[in-house]
Amino acid sequence: MAMTMHNPPHPGEVIRELCLEPLGLSVTEAAEGLGVSRKTLSAILNGRAGISPEMAIRLGKAFNTSAESWLNQQLQYDLWMAKKNSEAIKVRKLYAA
């Protein structure tokens, strides 16, 4: 069973630090390589947008990684953010009749 990360980074940070910076790629160059607009990639890098399944496939092909790893990072991040606000989520336990 996978452990949830404590305060996982947004996948955009991972892309910037582990993919773009080591290769010396600008946002514009990376966006062109990924086949997306600079605006789209910039939103992900700045944490304003998440990684969609299609973007995960693009990242996997571009950086020789698995699409699943990118989606898992996004899921871990989203779940951690949701848990931070879980007090506001009001539910009632449901039982069999």
What is 41-59 written as a DSSP string? HHHHHTTSS---HHHHHHH
pTM recorded for the entire structure: 0.86
Residue 21's Cβ-count burial label (10 Å; 0-12, 13-18, 19+) is exposed
Does 26 reside within a domain?
yes
Which residue type does 54 have?
E
How many structural domains is the chain composed of? 1
Does 85 reside within a domain?
no
At 49, which CATH number?
1.10.260.40
Rounded to an integer, what distance in angstroms lies between the CA atom of residue 94 and that of residue 70? 34
Does 75 reside within a domain?
yes
Closest CA to 11 of 49, 54, 39: 49
- pLDDT tens string, the chain, 97 residues long: the values are 455 567 899 999 999 999 999 999 999 999 999 999 999 999 999 999 999 999 999 999 999 999 999 999 999 999 999 999 899 999 999 999 8
